């Protein structure tokens, strides 16, 4: 299979390219090499064409003979400031729209799209007495007092987290999240208009070798690692008990290969989304502990009680649909992968 891979020089894209080649597929890599991801003055790696998908004239010819497109290129990060909205809308949404329009004109009509868990906003919550709940945003006054949990709207008791399935309605809380919802919507509209097929992979917190260090693209695992290496205890927001899922980049790359093989055989007009996660929820403070142990240190995380407006309390995905449809199950548990990540090479 010949695959056009956008974002091929990025953290996840590099891992996907390597996995595709290992499986015997041909990769046509493109990357805009934006400074936010690669630093100023970065040179594209060998075999990666430096082009911006927002400019179809610069890369249209690269679609020749391609069987499917794996679209990883995006501006990522928290996207908590409205000032950044044009960046997210430009790179993520306009870029995806141009890609899809060019694919409609040149082919192919098979797409794997990198999406994210952030499309869900808050996760899923239940009350032991009153069942499923849709909590309202946490009040600033409660956060200031160190009360971080959601409460049942009926009895006022603490809500417990539950697994989020792909059928959950989107509820974006940031510019980045809104752009990911838009990408999925553009892709779905494209599939229905051109008899295409789309698989959207909603990544949870990806980590592993090649992750950027000390940039807006750095995940919390890399931030914790930098602190421990510098002899500082990791700083953990809220009470450290926020539940998340951390999935290794090698598992993410394998999920993309499975999705590409599946989307090529999919019927026209099919649009599917899948959670790509480890299936092993952990507390954020445990991430700091695993990373510290991997460095051979016992750096006790500092629970700061600080918070960021718009942050969600818990979001943990169900891995069941990806397992059933794609045959994807993560192979690297967070306890092992995060400890190993402590000494993995970073960029």
160: Cβ–Cβ under 8 A, 6 or more apart, which residues? 125, 126, 127, 128
User: How far is 188 from 60, CA to CA, in rounded Å?
Assistant: 21
Place of tokens 């949404």: 93
Q: How many helices (H) and strands (E) does the chain have?
A: 11, 16
User: How far is 99 from 6, CA to CA, in rounded Å?
Assistant: 10
User: How far is 33 from 43, CA to CA, in rounded Å?
Assistant: 8
Report the pLDDT value the prediction gives residue 215, as an integer from 0 to 100.
63
Report the pLDDT value the prediction gives residue 35, as an integer from 0 to 100.
66
pLDDT along the chain (347 residues), means of 10: 97 97 97 75 82 93 96 81 88 96 95 97 94 91 95 94 96 92 98 97 96 74 91 94 97 98 94 98 95 85 89 94 98 97 91
Q: pLDDT tens-digit profile of 3-23?
A: 999 999 999 999 999 999 999
Report the pLDDT value the prediction gives residue 297, as an integer from 0 to 100.
78
Place of tokens 């960021």: 308
Report the pLDDT value the prediction gives residue 80, as an integer from 0 to 100.
60
Virtual torsion, Cα 157, 171, 36, 45, nearest 10 deg? 110
Structure tokens at 38: 């690669």
Count Cα atoms within 13 angstroms, Cβ side, for 51: 22
User: How far is 308 from 147, CA to CA, in rounded Å?
Assistant: 14
- Residue 57's nearest CA partner among 102, 27, 93, 87 is 102
């Amino acid at each position: 299979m010949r695959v056009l891979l956008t974002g091929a020089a990025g953290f996840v894209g590099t891992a996907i390219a390597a996995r595709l080649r290992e499986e015997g597929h041909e990769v046509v890599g493109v990357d805009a090499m934006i400074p936010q991801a690669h630093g100023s003055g970065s040179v594209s790696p060998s075999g990666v064409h430096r082009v911006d998908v927002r400019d179809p004239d610069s890369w249209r010819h690269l679609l020749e003979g391609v069987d499917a497109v794996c679209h990883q290129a995006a501006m990522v990060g928290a996207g908590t400031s409205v000032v950044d909205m044009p960046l997210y809308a430009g790179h993520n949404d306009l870029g995806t729209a141009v890609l899809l329009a060019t694919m409609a004109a040149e082919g192919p009509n098979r797409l794997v799209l990198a999406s994210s868990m952030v499309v869900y906003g808050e996760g899923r919550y239940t009350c032991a007495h009153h069942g499923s709940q849709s909590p309202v945003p946490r009040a600033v006054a409660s956060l200031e007092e160190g009360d971080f949990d959601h409460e049942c709207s009926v009895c006022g008791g603490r809500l417990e987290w539950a697994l989020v399935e792909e059928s959950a309605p989107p509820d974006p809380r940031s510019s980045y999240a809104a752009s990911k919802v838009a990408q999925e919507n553009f892709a779905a509209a494209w599939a229905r208009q051109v008899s295409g097929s789309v698989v959207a992979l909603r990544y949870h917190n990806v980590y592993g070798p090649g992750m950027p260090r000390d940039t807006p693209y750095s995940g919390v695992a890399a931030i914790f690692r930098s602190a421990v290496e510098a002899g500082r205890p990791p700083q953990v927001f809220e009470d450290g008990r926020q539940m998340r899922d951390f999935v290794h980049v090698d598992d993410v790359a394998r999920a993309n290969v499975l999705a590409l093989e599946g989307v090529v055989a999919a019927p026209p007009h099919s649009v599917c989304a899948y959670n790509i996660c480890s299936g092993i929820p952990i507390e954020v403070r445990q991430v700091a502990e695993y990373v510290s142990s991997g460095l051979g240190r016992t750096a006790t995380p500092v629970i700061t009680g600080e918070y960021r407006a718009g942050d969600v309390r818990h979001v943990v995905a169900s891995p069941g649909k990806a397992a059933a449809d794609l045959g994807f199950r993560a192979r690297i548990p967070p306890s092992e992968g995060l400890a190993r990540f402590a000494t993995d090479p970073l960029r």
